């Protein structure tokens, strides 16, 4: 897979580590991490990214609010966003689609699911 700049937002250090390792294994080395939505928005103002991956349940600003904010920024209106969350109810998936999320993965997931989902999202760009 072609190298991309990725921002991963999750309050769990364990998940950040697992995702970081997984992304490196599929050839992504430009990975930035944020603990919550507020930190993510600060990073997004300073740097450009090709994709954002975010958890839903987070302190300060959750993933839903973060996606709303990000979609209101002109340069990120079309940036691929992948939601990685424990929330697996149909209503959550619908909410994510309405917010403009490009993909949705429910935890726990396998490395194959993550790789497949990323390839799918980038092939649509």
Partner 1 sequence: MHREKTMAVEKIDIIYENLEQLQQSVRSGKEAGPIIDDLFRFIRDIVPFMLEVHSLMQESSDSIPFASANLNTISKTTEMATHQVLDQLDVVSAKLQRLRSDLQEEKSNQARLTLIDEVLKDASDIVYALQFQDITSQKLQHVNDILQAIYERFLTLFRSSLRLRNHSMFANGMLDEMVQDQEKTKEQRLKSDFDRQTEDEIHHTHISQDQIDHYFRRHKGHI
Residue 5 or 95 having the CB closest to partner 1: 95
Residue showing tokens 């991963």: 8
Cα(119)–Cα(96) distance, rounded to whole angstroms? 19
Residue 1 or 94 having the CB closest to partner 1: 94
Residues that bind partner 1 (CB under 8 A): 10, 12-15, 17-18, 21-22, 25, 57, 86-90, 92-94, 97-98, 103-111, 113
- Give me the least distance between CB of 26 and partner 1, in Å please: 11
Cα 6 to its chain centre, rounded Å, is 8
- Give me the least distance between CB of 93 and partner 1, in Å please: 5
End-to-end Cα distance, the chain:
14
Residue 40 or 82 having the CB closest to partner 1: 82
- Give me the least distance between CB of 45 and partner 1, in Å please: 27
Strands (E), the chain: 5-9, 30-34, 51-54, 81-85, 103-106
């Amino acid at each position: 897979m072609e190298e991309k700049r990725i921002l991963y937002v999750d309050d769990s250090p364990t998940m950040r580590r697992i995702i970081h390792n997984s992304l490196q294994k599929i050839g992504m080395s430009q990975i930035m991490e944020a603990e919550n939505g507020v930190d993510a928005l600060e990073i997004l103002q300073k740097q450009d990214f090709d994709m954002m991956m975010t958890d839903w349940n987070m302190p300060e600003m959750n993933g839903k609010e973060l996606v709303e904010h990000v979609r209101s920024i002109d340069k990120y209106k079309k940036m691929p966003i992948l939601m990685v969350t424990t929330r697996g109810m149909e209503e959550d998936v619908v909410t994510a689609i309405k917010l403009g999320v490009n993909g949705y993965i429910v935890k726990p997931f396998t490395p194959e699911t993550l790789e497949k989902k990323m390839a799918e999202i980038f092939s649509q760009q």
